[in-house]
Amino acid sequence: MLEEPASHPKYSVVVPFHNEQASVRELYRKLSSVMAGCGEPAEFIFVDDHSTDGTPHLLAQLAKDDPQIVVIRLKRNYGQTVALEAGFDYASGEVIISMDGDLQHDPDDIPTMLSTFEESGCDIVSGWRKNRVDNVLLRRVPSRIANWLMSKLSGIDIHDFGTTFKVYRRETIKQIRLYGEMHRFIPALASWSGATIVEVPIRNTVRSTGRSHYGLSRIIRVLFDLLTIRFLLKYVTRPLHFFGPLGLAGILAGLGIASWLLVQKAIYDTDVFDQHGPLMILGVVLFLAGLQLISSGLVGELMSRTYFESQGKPVYAVEKIITSKKVSRTRA
């Protein structure tokens, strides 16, 4: 994990960049103006995801001129999720704001999001691109389907999982480790420990320069991530409850086939190998597959316990502790 600076500003703005030289200066100008108007100290964590254009040079110049800016250049192109993780690791503010570096997120929406954050007392304010400007067939329709699936499978009732534009309570985002392309599922991951989420409509502006780094190929990756998130949210502390029923069904089906074949052989003297060879093989496969699934569940149970106990990590999150001597509050 990256080392945090000594001072702790109120706000940390985390922005990942990858080949966004055309938007760097304009985004910084807008961000610095908006954050100056908030009346609280802020830092800017600009993460360069190993850009190959003029982005590194421009970010270095900005960091030289403004001590509020910290530039983190990654050693290779890891992708947006890892870039965000690096920024979150370094961020030291009480409130952490994340957004894209391509100017499709309008910094002027930040005061509204921060106001909602303070008034609601929530842990995450998530942007909602209510009126999207993307291509209907290539972006909006697939995005709507994906967001619907994410909402149903994760149990989080928000409209826009894909946007990076969010406001986080420091303790909430610091508890979450990101892998793959899991940045879309931060609200779902945070909800596991009881985090509260509020959605706020944001503007979605047309990308004026550069090109999008996303295409239809991401749909497949999102579907796999969806399965991972569903499993983590529901079965991370009880994996046998997921594998067990499937394994038991396989074992019972295999035993059922074996019993039927045994009756055919014992009562009707049927040549099982000749007349029901494929069915016998199916029964054996189902039985063995069932055993393997149950074994996988048991191994998962051991790994789950190792994960929590080796880190001293509880399987719960405490919101409030009240005693006659002291009242303390810990937010998820």
How large is the average pLDDT for residues 61-75?
Answer: 94
Residue 210 pLDDT: 54
Count other Cβ atoms within 10 Å, centred on residue 143.
20
pLDDT digits (tens, 9 = 90+) for 221-257: 777 777 777 787 788 888 989 999 999 999 999 999 9
Residue 133 pLDDT: 64
pLDDT digits (tens, 9 = 90+) for 117-155: 999 999 999 999 887 766 556 566 777 777 787 777 777
Q: How far apart are the first and last CA of the chain?
A: 21
* Torsions phi, psi for 98 (to 5 deg): -120, 145
Dihedral sign from CA coordinates of 32, 167, 47, 161: negative
pLDDT above 50: residue 196:
yes
Count other Cβ atoms within 10 Å, centred on residue 129.
21
Please report where in the chains the tokens 């409130």 appear, as a residue.
Answer: 95
Count other Cβ atoms within 10 Å, centred on residue 177.
10
